[in-house]
Structure 1
């Protein structure tokens, strides 16, 4: 399958080179792999911090929308943060390119939830984002302090992205055990109507992630670069999970600027997915979940 034959793509994790990201540490931290691993070349648009080049790359790779995943963690190691107002401004300025998830500052949850109520009705706001394993104070996804986040998401009819990965925890100043997905099972079972996206798919806890998702039909697995990078460890588990029983709950993401978009799509297509489910992972599953139409 080639890019020219591909369906439109909904990229579930894309941080564009807008000032909100590039003027702080968030964009530079997202470039961790290109800056430290020779196998990650990075995109020309990312190195030049050019939004116009990004749009050209998105168009040529058939990326219809990129999801700006909120990060509002206060003082989380080297991760930095982005204000929700900046995400709202970006999706308002570029509604044909971006969708947004609003971030929750886990050190100031009541204020964040008030802000989310204010912005939730904005066109192209599609969800709420938390990063419990990499905040200033790491916590498990089923921590009692997070119940109001899940309850507001249910009230607003929005899915929640829970970003978990070993590298994310380390960059937040913590050990990799905070990326375990076991506590997400408790959340999914406590709130069976809540749609939960596990961004970064709890890498490297790939097997645990797949089993938790199998047990909980309201969990979506979004491995992004960890299932769109040739030879990366754990990817085969995510692929096998989708091929066997998670074909309707696996989502694509490039994790740009971690990955060049063209490289992410090219590598994704070589990972061994069943050909009949590629369209679902690249577009249909996310479009249905986020209620997006062409």
Structure 2
């Protein structure tokens, strides 16, 4: 079994030196049922590779974050992401981040770095920027247009917790505005990271209506007992088997625990390989 983890932030200095990694450890630090990974607590990338290997994770996707001034989310520079991909070319691919408070500058940088080794997409977090906005806000049109020009998918990260950690109402994580983006830019591949949790039912319906949307619930569909997980599973089992992606949101959870819990959530047996590997491999050109 091979796996592509669509949201894996490694314990390297680019992430651990600021608040990004500590914020990503919110669940292990706040909830006794989330023990976290040994490599995450020790901030040891070599142990992470052992954990990835033992779970069958071939690739980790380092998702860019440039949440300028938004709560404690922090950020990682795109240059640091490119350095990570060059240092570990057989372990990571990445998405470059757009700072919602400096969109033109971010896009100029992305244009410069987009052809670097391992760059597979563009990442935005519109509901958790310093000033939250909907995904179809006109200010984001240049992001989608550049993605189409560069033939890269866009990850739109949305979750209630992400919004709350940025200091905003969780309702900014509702996915309905993504429908407008997907229908306007029909050739654009859109990945909804965190899958707009807890608005899982809305997310599944939006994805059903828009064939260019991919649902990536990560920990919200790889954690035993997680509320709303059944909606993502039912969505994949019924009609989204080719557009549902696996992720752990590491360092939130231990990778082996995430894979184990994922397999116990009731996915149709014949689609498990698609969700764990094939869909992401095709989307990111890793097949």
- TM-score norm. by structure 1 comes to 0.97
Distance in 1 separating the partners of 2:56 and 2:215: 22
In structure 2, the residue matched to 1:22 is 16
Residue 240 (structure 1) aligned with residue 237 (structure 2)? no
Residue 261 (structure 1) aligned with residue 258 (structure 2)? no
Distance in 2 separating the partners of 1:210 and 1:134: 21
- Count of residues in correspondence between the two structures: 287
SS of the equivalent of 1:255 reads coil
Residue 123 (structure 1) aligned with residue 154 (structure 2)? no
Residue 108 (structure 1) aligned with residue 102 (structure 2)? yes
Counterpart among 37, 53, 60 of residue 54 in structure 2: 60
Distance in 1 separating the partners of 2:10 and 2:190: 24
Distance in 1 separating the partners of 2:183 and 2:38: 43
In structure 1, the residue matched to 2:135 is 141
SS of the equivalent of 1:133 reads helix
Distance in 2 separating the partners of 1:95 and 1:42: 25
Quote the offset at 1:143 in angstroms. Answer: 0.2
In structure 2, the residue matched to 1:4 is none
Distance in 1 separating the partners of 2:220 and 2:40: 19
Quote the offset at 1:73 in angstroms. Answer: 1.5
Counterpart among 265, 284, 294 of residue 278 in structure 2: 284
**Counterparts in 2 of 1:61-76, with a 5 A limit?**
61-76=55-70
In structure 1, the residue matched to 2:7 is 13
In structure 1, the residue matched to 2:145 is 151
In structure 1, the residue matched to 2:197 is 203
Counterpart among 28, 34, 46 of residue 34 in structure 1: 28
Deviation sequence 1:128-153 (CA, Å, 0-9, x none): 00000000000000000000000000
Quote the offset at 1:123 in angstroms. Answer: 1.6
**Counterparts in 2 of 1:75-94, with a 5 A limit?**
75-94=69-88
What is the RMSD computed on CA atoms of the aligned residues? 0.4
Quote the offset at 1:56 in angstroms. Answer: 0.6
Quote the offset at 1:236 in angstroms. Answer: 0.2
Counterpart among 154, 179, 199 of residue 160 in structure 1: 154
Residue 273 (structure 1) aligned with residue 267 (structure 2)? yes
List structure 1 runs of 4+ shifted beyond 2 angstroms. Answer: none
SS of the equivalent of 2:68 reads coil
